[in-house]
Structures are given as C-alpha cells and as structure tokens.
Amino acid sequence: MAERIGFIGLGIMGEPMCRNLMKAGYACTVNTRTKSRAEKLLSEGAVWADSPEETAVKSDVIITIVTDTPDVEKVILGENGIIEGIRPGSVVIDMSTISPSATQAMAAALREKGADMLDAPVSGGDTGAIAGTLSIMVGGRQEVFDRCLPVFEAMGKSINLIGDHGAGQMTKLCNQVAVSVANLAMAEALILAAKAGLDMEKMLAAISGGAAGSWQLSNLAPRIIKRDFDPGFMVKLQQKDLRLVLGAASELGLGLPGASLAHQLFNAVEAAGEGDEGTQALVKSLERMSGVEVHG
C-alpha cells in the first residue's frame, strides 16, 4: 500500500511539490496557515486537515516546507503540532531550509515518540518544483531514506543521502553559499558588460557556453536584461538562508567573505523595499553603486 502523505506548507514551492505527489498516485492530506492557499489542491483531490496534529493522525509520511526554523519548530513541536498526532513508525520529512542543530533536536524529540525524521531541503526553485526535478539533500537514517525514496522521486531527480540528521541542512547551506556567490559573479559580469556598452544577449551567448557557464547565467541573467524581477526565489528568503549560513560558519569558526558580501548586497536590496523580488534583484545593488542599468 502506498504511503499516505501529509503535506504542510503550500507556498511557491510546496503547492507544486504536493501536486506532483498527487500525480504520482499518493493520497495527500494538506494543511497550511491560510486555507485559501490550498483551494486548488483541494479541488484536485487533496483532503484538508485543520492542524498539523490532524495531518499527522491521517498520514504515514508528513512533509513540511515552511519559512524558517521557528515555523518548523511550531509545526512539529508546538500546540496542535505534528508531535501530538504522530504515530510510531511514521516519518516526518522537513524540506524547509533551517538550522542543522534545530533539526537534530526535533529528530530526537520525534524518536521519543517512536517516529523518524529526515531533513531534506531542496534546490531548483519554483521551476524545479513544478517540473519535479528538484535536487534533494537528505539527512537521516539509511533505512528511513530507502523507505521514503519513492516519495522523493515524485518531486526530484537528484536525491542524495548525505549523512545523519542535520547533514541535509548543512549541505543546503553549502549550496546557498555557492548559489549566492555565483549570483554575485553573474551580476558583476552584467554590470561590466553594460558599462562597456556590449550587446548583452551576444555577451551572454558567448560566455554561457564556456567555463563561466552557470545556472545563474542561463536562468537569471536573461530575466535581468528583460527587467524581470518576479521571484522564483525571493530575496528575503535568500537572506534567511544566508543568515543560517553565516551563523553556522560562526559556530565553526569560519569566515566566508563571498557569502558575507552577497548578504550585505542583499541587505541593500531589502532596504530599498525589494525583498519580495527574485534573487536576480541582487544586480540592483550593483546598478545603484555603478550608475548603470543592465538591459537588453
């Protein structure tokens, strides 16, 4: 019998991820803070639960993808939370990006109830969520990962068990370092090209096929030259992730100068009231500093 899925958090990422599970044949019970966000999925066959606790009662595998560490803690450990309804043998999969140490604490609390947890943050943005091609970085026990692999396969393509609880979250933080610094490198290349008066589309075509090629050059740069700053992943969420990155680095006694600079430039974007825009809006900080605007 297929696992009964509970899905909590139906935002830009969560809604298409849940839809892909339903397309794969899983029965899904859903909960989110604002019920209206669930209406489309309910019309497609999902079942509503009034709380995370009720979601857990009705599910074998409960997936959470919410904003930040306190949100996950509330959903799992809070009043009417998952932990109050979970049954022995059930699994919680948290696909949010949160603190690795908080993940470890929640996994321990769930184990006391006879349940398991996997931390499984994702990369690939809204396009990957819609297409079912997310990269999923998992922390937890091998046997639990093996059990949940078919669930992951309905949502992603690159699925890797990294290590024990918290390892998935730490890997996601490594991912966010690489992504944010690549975003900055892409933005600087565009600023240089704009200041020099180059044809932006020709420049992008020339460098994207070589060693400089990146997801950012292929996906974000074309949006920038069209002045399209609609979010796939919002600046304010990238900033939350970078705060986690820099906090984890501080705990380990590390300095991350590239990630720190990206964080400061995103701070300037947020200060300008652009925190709800996509992460390609990082270029706006450089535009304001340089007195040039990137466009096609």
CA distance 22 to 41: 9
CA distance 296 to 282: 17
User: What is the residue extent of each domain of the chain?
Assistant: 5-164, 171-290
The CATH class of 5-164 is: alpha beta
Beta-carbon-side half-sphere exposure of residue 19 (alpha carbons within 13 Å): 20
Nearest to 99 by CA among 250, 244, 242: 244
Please give the CATH topology (third level) of the domain spanning 171-290.
N-(1-d-carboxylethyl)-l-norvaline Dehydrogenase; domain 2 (1.10.1040)
Pair of tokens at residue 58: 């009705």
- Indicate the SS3 state at residue 238: helix
Q: Do domains 5-164 and 171-290 have the same CATH topology?
A: no
Report the interhelical angle of 100-111 vs 69-77 (nearest 10°). Answer: 10
What pLDDT tens digit does each residue of the chain (296 aa) get? 589 999 999 999 999 999 999 999 999 999 999 999 999 999 999 999 999 999 999 999 999 999 999 999 999 999 999 999 999 999 999 999 999 999 999 999 999 999 999 999 999 888 899 999 999 999 999 999 999 999 999 999 999 999 999 999 999 999 999 999 999 999 999 999 999 999 999 999 999 999 999 999 999 999 999 999 999 889 999 999 999 999 999 999 999 999 999 999 999 999 999 999 999 999 999 999 999 999 98
134 forms beta bridges with 156
State residue 232's pLDDT score. Answer: 82
State residue 1's pLDDT score. Answer: 55
256-257-260-265 Cα dihedral, nearest 10 degrees: -150
Q: Of the listed 23, 40, 157, 172, which one is catalytic? A: 172
What is the pTM for the complete model shown? 0.91
Concerning whether 226 is annotated as a catalytic residue, the answer is no
State residue 145's pLDDT score. Answer: 99
Nearest to 85 by CA among 60, 113, 53: 53
Residue 75 near residue 8, CB atoms below 8 Å: yes
